[in-house]
Structure 1
Amino acid sequence: MNALLVDDSRLARTELRHLLRAFPEVTVVGEARHAEEARTQLRELQPDVLFLDIHMPGETGFELLASLETAPHVIFTTAYDEYALRAFEVNALDYLLKPIQENRLAAALAKARAKLTAPVPALAPAAEPEPEEAAPTPLTEQDQVFVKDGERCWFVRLADIRLFEINGSYTQIYFEQHRPLIPRTLQHLEQRLDNRVFFRANRQQIINLKWVESIEPWFSNTLKIKLRGGPEVEVSRQQSVRFREMLSL
């Protein structure tokens, strides 16, 4: 996998190059300081993946992409989280916030690898059944997820989310003082979340165990859990049994 690094900061390029040494399948074929230099490098080197900063002197990373007839797979690298929505609108593979964490870089490269190694679909008979939908990719607590609610959007680490709660046909997310709604079911989220960190307390709620402040016995041998920053969550009888078994010595 050949990569081109585009960033006006020499230090940022050096740090990213250093991080990429941990991934032997990646070869850094070039670096560029601004959009014009990047265009030349793209024509000459034909990289598979473009690590692209957004704020650069002259043209922004978005303006560079808009000027290209074709582009490699793009992974944005930036210190600003407010452009996440726009990044995914231009089909970026990922959006890495500086300072870049190695586990986030690994996840981004996994996406690039999957794109680059995906087989070209062959012509199939008309009666060929459609393939089953792939299982959702599991997430770690250090992964960042893009959340949009109306006109507002966030890029938030899963470790900072203390509660997922059903709200009508949506799921409400609790982090900091925010309570955005996302069009996802708890069942879908449960399949993607690390069950060592996120626990299904009942039919309506999934809690982050690392945000538990206190636990007390409740009615009918159930438990009540208080999360730091609130709220209190009543654990169902069946899940109370599982909670005790899971966290006992």
Structure 2
Amino acid sequence: MRALLIDDERLARNELRRLLENFPKVEVIGEAANADEGVKLIEELQPDLLFLDIQMPGKNGFELLQSIDGKAPEVIFTTAYDEYALKAFEFNALDYLLKPVDLNRLTEAINRVEENHQPLPDTPLGENNKMLGENDQVFVKDGEKCWFVKLGKVRLFESMGNYVRLYFDDQKPLVLKSLNSLEDRLDPNTFFRANRKHIINLNWIDKIEPWFSGGLLVTLQGGDKIEISRRQAIRFKDLMSL
């Protein structure tokens, strides 16, 4: 696992790097002292894992994650403050470590990362390369709930950090997979990448409106409103034209 350390405190980065020497599978490939540096390194180095502080000068850790364009790495927050724990898990953090980081807690966090790197055959995004179309049925598991759903019923896929939320009927389960890898599996004649956060089912479009900066705003059956970015709007018009 290729890891990036993002923390404005140099001593905290040094201590975490020292602790990570206990884990041969974790390679520290870079460090950043603030969110702007962190975003640049994420784009350049494409790490698998972030050790991310929350309180930093300028943008905080949450704002850094919101500014990532494309696939987001897995995240372990490292912070001196425990009041951000709930919000951290809203960003799908794998763990939340309080400073000073304890080796035993760090071991638990690394184990959790390794577990998430195991194949997940019970998601719609298994390890095979079969293209998935609207008539394919997939098994979805979120916590204790399970569904066997035809993909044609899924109107929207939404990136949620390291997860993707599926919208069908009145259900919104999460699966542990990136939107980019999901896009590679879905039939592009039915499922369209509207922007960096959303894939829409073209069969569920109810209304299309012009939007800002040359983009489009689509309303799906059920009321979801999704912006198609300017770049994707050009592809959308080509795809949907005679």
Q: CA deviation at 1:111?
A: 1.2
2: CA distance between counterparts of 1:129 and 1:39?
Answer: 34
- Residue 19 of structure 2 corresponds to which residue in structure 1? 19
Map 1:29-108; keep pairs closer than 5 Å.
Answer: 29-69=29-69, 70-108=71-109
1: CA distance between counterparts of 2:85 and 2:137?
Answer: 40
- Residue 184 of structure 1 corresponds to which residue in structure 2? none
> Structure 2 unaligned runs (5+)?
145-242
TM-score, scaled to structure 1? 0.49
2: CA distance between counterparts of 1:97 and 1:6?
Answer: 15
Larger RCO (CA under 8 A, 6+ residues apart): 2
2: CA distance between counterparts of 1:105 and 1:34?
Answer: 22
2: CA distance between counterparts of 1:5 and 1:57?
Answer: 16
Map 1:1-16; keep pairs closer than 5 Å.
Answer: 1-16=1-16
Per the alignment, do residues 4 and 127 of structure 1 end up closer, same or farther by CA in structure 2, a change over 3 Å counting? closer
Percent identical: 55
In the alignment, residue 89 of structure 1 is paired with which amino acid? E
Q: CA deviation at 1:130?
A: 8.6
Q: CA deviation at 1:115?
A: 1.6
2: CA distance between counterparts of 1:29 and 1:66?
Answer: 22
Map 1:1-249; keep pairs closer than 5 Å.
Answer: 1-69=1-69, 70-119=71-120, 121=126, 122=128
What are the Cα deviations for residues 108-156 of structure 1, in whole angstroms up to 9, with x where unaligned?
Answer: 11111122232551469x899999x89xxxxxxxxxxxxxxxxxxxxxx
Per the alignment, do residues 129 and 51 of structure 1 end up closer, same or farther by CA in structure 2, a change over 3 Å counting? closer
In the alignment, residue 44 of structure 1 is paired with which amino acid? E
2: CA distance between counterparts of 1:130 and 1:5?
Answer: 33
1: CA distance between counterparts of 2:4 and 2:12?
Answer: 13
In the alignment, residue 43 of structure 2 is paired with which amino acid? R
Per the alignment, do residues 13 and 117 of structure 1 end up closer, same or farther by CA in structure 2, a change over 3 Å counting? same
Question: Secondary structure of 1:107's partner?
Answer: helix
Question: Secondary structure of 2:101's partner?
Answer: coil
Q: CA deviation at 1:82?
A: 0.2
In the alignment, residue 76 of structure 1 is paired with which amino acid? F
Question: Secondary structure of 1:41's partner?
Answer: helix
2: CA distance between counterparts of 1:48 and 1:33?
Answer: 19
2: CA distance between counterparts of 1:62 and 1:130?
Answer: 28
Per the alignment, do residues 127 and 75 of structure 1 end up closer, same or farther by CA in structure 2, a change over 3 Å counting? closer
2: CA distance between counterparts of 1:17 and 1:103?
Answer: 15
Question: Secondary structure of 1:56's partner?
Answer: coil
Per the alignment, do residues 82 and 44 of structure 1 end up closer, same or farther by CA in structure 2, a change over 3 Å counting? same
1: CA distance between counterparts of 2:15 and 2:6?
Answer: 12
1: CA distance between counterparts of 2:87 and 2:101?
Answer: 20
Rg larger in 1 or in 2? 1
Per the alignment, do residues 57 and 103 of structure 1 end up closer, same or farther by CA in structure 2, a change over 3 Å counting? same
Per the alignment, do residues 80 and 118 of structure 1 end up closer, same or farther by CA in structure 2, a change over 3 Å counting? same
Per the alignment, do residues 87 and 129 of structure 1 end up closer, same or farther by CA in structure 2, a change over 3 Å counting? closer
Question: Secondary structure of 1:55's partner?
Answer: coil
Between stretches 15-24 and 107-116, larger displacement belongs to 107-116
Per the alignment, do residues 64 and 130 of structure 1 end up closer, same or farther by CA in structure 2, a change over 3 Å counting? closer
In the alignment, residue 49 of structure 2 is paired with which amino acid? V
Q: CA deviation at 1:88?
A: 0.4
